[in-house]
Amino acid sequence: MKRLILFFSLSFLFSTAILAQTTEVWVVRHAEKDKSNPEDKDPNLSDEGRIRAGDLATFLKKVKFDAGFTTPYKRTHQTLDSLIIPKVIDYKDAKSLVDSVKKNYAGKTVIVAAHSNTALEIIEAFGGKRPMEMLTDDDYDYIFRLTVKDDKAKVKKDQFGRPHHL
């Protein structure tokens, strides 16, 4: 009987610990894209964007990521290319992204490469408050660190690389 009680006690503690895990989610907008061909719907990063992607790797050099999430566009993938990430997964929308992270990466550290019109939406989908009203088409230097626990996220805004607001 004592073993049974011990087993259930340990099971309860273990399940409580799993449910109370904190997940770290970094959200960054893709780096500068090549705008030389306005008809190209999936451009590569520009030279400036490749430099910024390197700056991102320098900024995050001490962070160990368990996974990265990108949209299916080249520019989001290329933004994360300089980082050491064991697995990069495409996502289609904020809800599916949040569901995937909560199901498969609870208690881990992930990075999301987003777009100017989706980055803040993703922060809200994780339960965080928008740290700014909007990201413009010229905002490439912001990065957001979310500490997610249950359905709430604390958000910290930072900047990396060459400031885009000179």
**pLDDT of the residue at 164:** 75
**pLDDT of the residue at 5:** 58
**pLDDT of the residue at 19:** 55
d(Cα 44, Cα 86) in Å, to the nearest integer?
Answer: 22
**pLDDT of the residue at 14:** 54
- Full-model pTM: 0.87
Kindly give the parts of the chain with pLDDT less than 70: 1-20, 165-166
Classify burial at 74, counting beta carbons within 10 Å of its beta carbon; exposed 0-12, middle 13-18, buried 19 or more.
middle
**pLDDT of the residue at 2:** 61
User: In the CATH scheme, what is the code of domain 22-159?
Assistant: 3.40.50.1240
